[in-house]
Amino acid sequence: MTLRISQIVEPDKNRATLRLEGTMSADWISLLERYCDDLGGRPITLDLEGLTFLDEESGAAIRRLRKTLGVTLIGCCLFTNEVIEGGTDF
């Protein structure tokens, strides 16, 4: 299962968007976190419109990124939103 992450940086606006496409499983969490860390404190938006699946661990990771880094989410479908918002923080 593959996840593609496209990085769109707008230096003049001091923000970045990470577009996620495909299937996100626990195997991809560290890569997503590394992308976020590499953006050097810029406001980050995750565009999740292209996700076809994400597991519970990935949903928890996205919740953590939102809480710790203030990441903004766009493009959530009903399924994606339920996995991210419906999960429980451990």
Residue 69 included in any domain: yes
pLDDT of residue 87: 58
Residue 35 included in any domain: no
**Angle, vertex CA 44, rays to CA 13 and CA 23, nearest 5:** 135
Q: What is the mean pLDDT of residues 8-35?
A: 91
Residue 26 included in any domain: no
- Asked whether the CA dihedral 74, 42, 19, 48 is positive or negative, the reply is negative
Residue 3 included in any domain: no
Residue 2 included in any domain: no
4 — pLDDT class (breaks 50, 70, 90): very high
pLDDT of residue 10: 81
Taking only the tens place, the pLDDT of each residue in 22-71 is 999 999 999 999 999 998 788 999 999 999 999 999 999 999 999 999 99
pLDDT of residue 22: 96
Residue 30 included in any domain: no
* Total of domains in the chain: 1
* CA 28 – CA 9 distance, rounded (Å): 21
| Cβ atoms of 52 and 23 closer than 8 Å | yes
Residue 22 included in any domain: no
| 90 pLDDT higher than 50 | no
pLDDT of residue 1: 63
Q: Show the domain range for 73.
A: 48-90
- Tokens encoding 13: 């606006």
